[in-house]
Amino acid sequence: MTEAVRPALARRYRQERLLVLAGKASIVIALLFLAGLLGNVAVNGWRALLRAEIQLPVHFDPAVIGAAGEHDALAYARLVKQAARADLAPDAGRKARKEAQQLLSFGAALQLRDAVAADPALVGATKEVWLPAASAAELHLKAFEALPGAAGRGLNLSERQATLLDRLHEEGRTALRFNGRFFTAGDSRDPEAAGIGGALMGSLLTLIVTLIATFPVGVGAAVYLELLAPRSRVFDFIEVNINNLAAVPSVIMGLLGLAVLIGVFGVSRSTPLVGGMVLGFLTLPTIIIAARAALKAVPDSLLHAALSLGATRLQGIVHQVLPAAMPGIMTGTIIGMAGALGETAPLLMVGMVAFVVAVPTGFGDVATALPVQIFLWADSPERGYVEKTALAICVLIAFLLAMNAAAIWLRRRFEKLL
Amino acid sequence: MSGGTEQAKPAAVFSCQEVNVHYGAFQAIKNVSLDVQPKEITALIGPSGCGKSTFLRCLNRMNDLIETCQVTGRIELDGADIYRRGFDVVDLRYRVGMVFQKPNPFPKSIWDNVAYGPRIHGVRDRAALDETVERSLRSAGLWDEVKDKLDEQGTRLSGGQQQRLCIARAIAVNPEVILMDEPCSALDPIATARIEELMYELRRAYTIVIVTHSMQQAARTSARTAYFHLGELIEHGLTRDIFDSPKHKQTEAYISGRIG
């Protein structure tokens, strides 16, 4: 007997070792892909955390900006041009002067206007000011600082502009600073001024709408289907269709939103309100399925105990079953929301692909969302958007990680309560 | 009452006549008529699948939860048919408590477990609830073990303590009857002995109906025993009569361990 078993035993152990090995190899491959993705976006994106500034003496000329500095941004743009001309190309020709002006971002004008608004005494004075560089100049200066991987040196710049920047750099009149504006500003036609703040806020508002629209409906539907509904043919039909709903391609949900929400109900397009509801179509089946699974996992004995004490069915469900199922429901909801966060196609259908400069503050404001912003930037020809795209991807992934962390935290908390 | 005359037999708490229970096409209970006397322990015994648990669950209508379950016949609680149309099942379960086979405390604090029943019936006053919790836990013989950790999870107690917590939870609403569905089957012998002692105490205040697989348990604790076989009530009477001189061969065979 043992003579027959032993050789087979060795083979069985070998099979088991192979299985473990295959499992480990799969995990290593998955981790390599993940590391490759994260490494790639991090390497490409981290330079977007920096912005270039150029130091210039600015004469706050009352003839240009008004005696109290009350003129508009275009007047301040003229002020910047004057300063650039006077300092960078004092006695050169028209072309050289224009090229010198091009080194500075339009954001410089806004910065000066804000400075005068904060301190009106500046009008008439002359002061050394650090001003944001235009995108091409910024890329050149980043290359100058020998940042690894910076490829923008001399790109989209004339020979004269490149020399000028090199000189400014040697004089110590250029600097790379932390670009905090990236996280608060909206989109911009100028890559150096574009920020992810608008899209971040848009995504947040959209997800709030999605959550409010789907969580109560999803949990309610799950409770009814799992605990209250009589098993019948209608029930089977509904069950099959909820599972089908979860598999409908997202772009079709976008079309549904376009046709029904915007076309029939007249919800205004491009807003977090309509975007959130469309994402809700996608999230709802996920929440229902996850909540049903969580409710099914709660032992019947809890409901029976409550009923045996004279609780009504509603009391038993609300007091005992739902709290016990909450960790699972929350996890499912956040997974659904994380899926919604990454959705792009349905948002394109309801117009959340608009170019939005202002950061949205309400559910009815025109807005865009993180993945749509990434799509827009990745689609832009300007070189300056490349690193912005990568950093935006980092922000999206960080948002996702934060949501998953919240899911884990919530689950732990609820499990502790149980 | 008056000296010399024999005390009138007290009216039955439950009076069941010709009860039949079907699960779809399967008949689980066949024509069972049985009275449950107040303030004593009635044990339902019989082999697995004989319908004793099904019958127990008819008494507080927990069978309602099973869609295919059909109950016919009359089951009267204090003279009122509990299966009559319009009989309030919440009120029934408020009067007829239940302890289940597997301890099933709520995943909440010990205090919350015991206070849950009174709370759903409208007791809001914290002091009154505190008093009920203490009284119930004392009655269940658990107070001394848990009085310093009332806010700890009920599910962290040992199996026997959990079952006593469930008993405390059931008596917190002050029911007339307590149904126990094999309350000791998941417990070790020491915990079982404690529950049996407890049942013996509780019978002074409550009518108890217990389903058990253990003949010794039925013999030790109950005043009356009913023997079920394949959905039929074979024999019903005083426990000592059933165990000492069973009238039916089947009963004798089961009690002596030859079947079951």
Closest approach of B150 to chain A, Cα-based (Å): 15
Coil, helix or strand at residue A123:
coil
Coil, helix or strand at residue A129:
strand
Could you tell me which chain B residue has the CA closest to the CA of A300?
B104
Neighbours of A327 (CB within 10 A): 21
> Does residue B101 have a pLDDT over 70?
yes
Query: What is the Cα–Cα distance from B157 to B146, expressed in whole angstroms?
Result: 9
State the pLDDT at residue A198.
Answer: 93
Query: What is the Cα–Cα distance from A279 to B229, expressed in whole angstroms?
Result: 59
> Does residue A301 have a pLDDT over 60?
yes
Q: Going by C-beta distance under 8 Å and a sequence separation of 6 or more, which residues neighbour residue B13?
A: B36, B37, B38, B77, B78, B176, B177, B207
The number of angstroms, rounded, from the C-alpha of A252 to the middle of its chain's C-alpha atoms is 23
Closest approach of A235 to chain B, Cα-based (Å): 15
The answer to whether B100 contacts A305, with C-beta atoms less than 8 Å apart, is yes
- Please state at what angle helix A272-297 crosses helix A197-223, rounded to 10 degrees: 40
Say which residue, A407 or B105, is predicted with more confidence.
Answer: B105
Amino acid in the structure at residue A283: T
What number is the average pLDDT over the span A364-393?
Answer: 91
Contacts with A312 from chain B: Cβ below 8 Å: 90
Query: Over the stretch A34-74, which tens digit does the pLDDT of each residue have?
Result: 999 999 998 888 888 999 999 999 999 888 888 888 888 88
Closest approach of A318 to chain B, Cα-based (Å): 12
Contacts with A230 from chain B: Cβ below 8 Å: 67
Contacts with B66 from chain A: Cβ below 8 Å: none
Q: Is A199 in contact with A392 (CB distance < 8 Å)?
A: yes
Residue ranges with strand state E in A76-206: 126-132, 174-178
> Does residue B88 have a pLDDT over 60?
yes
Contacts with A414 from chain B: Cβ below 8 Å: none
Residues in A whose CB is inside 8 Å of some CB of B read 230-231, 299, 301-302, 304-312, 315, 319-320, 323-324, 418
Instruction: Please name which of A171, A118, A113 lies closest in space to residue A141, comparing C-alpha atoms.
Output: A171
The answer to whether A418 contacts B100, with C-beta atoms less than 8 Å apart, is no
> Does residue B236 have a pLDDT over 80?
yes
Contacts with B107 from chain A: Cβ below 8 Å: 302, 323-324, 418
Closest approach of A298 to chain B, Cα-based (Å): 11
Count how many pairs of residues, chain A against chain B, have C-beta atoms within 8 Å: 63
pLDDT classification of B49: cutoffs 50, 70, 90 = confident
Q: Kind and range of the H or E element at A407?
A: helix A385-417
State the pLDDT at residue A67.
Answer: 85
State the pLDDT at residue B4.
Answer: 39
Q: Is A353 in contact with A363 (CB distance < 8 Å)?
A: no
What number is the average pLDDT over the span A221-245?
Answer: 89
The answer to whether A310 contacts B169, with C-beta atoms less than 8 Å apart, is no
Q: Which of B65, B102, B116 has its CB closest to that of A309?
A: B116
What number is the average pLDDT over the span A230-254?
Answer: 89
Contacts with A319 from chain B: Cβ below 8 Å: 116, 120
Q: Which of A308, A320, A324 has its CB closest to that of B93?
A: A308
> Does residue B9 have a pLDDT over 80?
no
> Does residue A151 have a pLDDT over 80?
no
pLDDT classification of A210: cutoffs 50, 70, 90 = very high
> Does residue A154 have a pLDDT over 70?
no
Query: What is the Cα–Cα distance from A1 to A410, expressed in whole angstroms?
Result: 56
The token pair at B246 is: 């069973």
Which string of DSSP letters, residue by residue, matches A159-192? HHHHHHHHHHHHTT-EEEEE-GGGGT----SSGG
Could you tell me which chain A residue has the CA closest to the CA of B172?
A309
Closest approach of B99 to chain A, Cα-based (Å): 8
> Does residue A150 have a pLDDT over 80?
no
State the pLDDT at residue B1.
Answer: 38
Query: Over the stretch A192-202, which tens digit does the pLDDT of each residue have?
Result: 889 999 999 99
Backbone angles phi, psi at B49, to 5 degrees: 80, 10
Closest approach of A418 to chain B, Cα-based (Å): 5
Closest approach of A415 to chain B, Cα-based (Å): 9
Say which residue, A416 or A124, is predicted with more confidence.
Answer: A124
Q: Vertex A234, ends A229 and A236: CA angle to 5°?
A: 80
Closest approach of B27 to chain A, Cα-based (Å): 22
> Does residue B111 have a pLDDT over 90?
yes
Contacts with B58 from chain A: Cβ below 8 Å: none
Q: Supply the ipTM of this predicted assembly.
A: 0.89
Q: Is B115 in contact with B105 (CB distance < 8 Å)?
A: no
The token pair at A244 is: 């089908």
Closest approach of A264 to chain B, Cα-based (Å): 42
Q: How far apart are the first and last CA of chain B?
A: 44
Lowest mean pLDDT among A83-92, B121-130, B224-233: A83-92
> Does residue B96 have a pLDDT over 60?
yes
State the pLDDT at residue A147.
Answer: 56
Lowest mean pLDDT among A108-122, A154-168, A365-379, A389-403: A154-168
Query: What is the Cα–Cα distance from A400 to B233, expressed in whole angstroms?
Result: 63
With a pLDDT cut of 70, the percent of chain B lying above it is 95
Which string of DSSP letters, residue by residue, matches A363-390? TTS----HHHHHHHHHT---TTHHHHHH
Q: Which of A301, A302, A308, A320 to mutate to test the interface with B (most CBs of B within 10 A)?
A: A308
Q: What is the signed CA dihedral for A316, A318, A320, A324, rounded to 10 degrees?
A: 140
Instruction: Please name which of A40, A26, A143, A158 lies closest in space to residue A103, comparing C-alpha atoms.
Output: A158
> Does residue A8 have a pLDDT over 70?
yes
What number is the average pLDDT over the span A224-243?
Answer: 89
Say which residue, A257 or A7, is predicted with more confidence.
Answer: A257
Question: What does the domain layout of chain A look like in residue ranges?
Answer: 47-178, 197-417
Q: Which of B53, B69, B101, B108 to mutate to test the interface with A (most CBs of A within 10 A)?
A: B108
Closest approach of A237 to chain B, Cα-based (Å): 19
* Domain A197-417 class in CATH: mainly alpha
Coil, helix or strand at residue A120:
helix
Q: Which of A299, A312, A319 has its CB closest to that of B90?
A: A312
Rounded to the nearest integer, the mean pLDDT of chain A is: 89
pLDDT classification of B260: cutoffs 50, 70, 90 = low
Q: Is A214 in contact with A283 (CB distance < 8 Å)?
A: yes
Contacts with B105 from chain A: Cβ below 8 Å: 305
DSSP letter assigned to residue A150? -
The answer to whether B170 contacts A299, with C-beta atoms less than 8 Å apart, is no
Contacts with A304 from chain B: Cβ below 8 Å: 62, 65, 98, 100, 104
Could you tell me which chain B residue has the CA closest to the CA of A415?
B107
Residues in B whose CB is inside 8 Å of some CB of A read 60, 62, 65, 67, 90-91, 93-94, 97-98, 100, 102, 104-108, 116-117, 120-121, 153, 155, 166, 169-170, 173
Question: What does the domain layout of chain B look like in residue ranges?
Answer: 14-255
The answer to whether A299 contacts B90, with C-beta atoms less than 8 Å apart, is no
The answer to whether A319 contacts B120, with C-beta atoms less than 8 Å apart, is yes
Encode burial over B62-98: b for 16+ CB neighbours within 10 A, e otherwise. bbbeeeebebebebbbeeeebbeeeeebbebbbbbbb
Query: What is the Cα–Cα distance from B49 to B230, expressed in whole angstroms?
Result: 7
Reduced 3-state DSSP string for chain B: CCCCCCCCCCCCCEEEEEEEEEECCEEEEEEEEEEECCCCEEEEECCCCCCHHHHHHHHCCHHHHCCCEEEEEEEEECCEECCCCCCCHHHHHHHEEEECCCCCCCCCEHHHHHHHHHHHCCCCCHHHHHHHHHHHHHHCCCHHHHCCCCCCEHHHCCHHHHHHHHHHHHHCCCCCEEEEECCCCCCCHHHHHHHHHHHHHHCCCCEEEEECCCHHHHHHHCCEEEEEECCEEEEEEEHHHHHHCCCCHHHHHHHCCCCC
Contacts with B108 from chain A: Cβ below 8 Å: 418
* Domain B14-255 class in CATH: alpha beta
Contacts with A231 from chain B: Cβ below 8 Å: 67
Coil, helix or strand at residue A153:
coil
Query: Over the stretch B195-225, which tens digit does the pLDDT of each residue have?
Result: 999 999 899 999 999 999 888 899 999 999 9
> Does residue A87 have a pLDDT over 90?
no
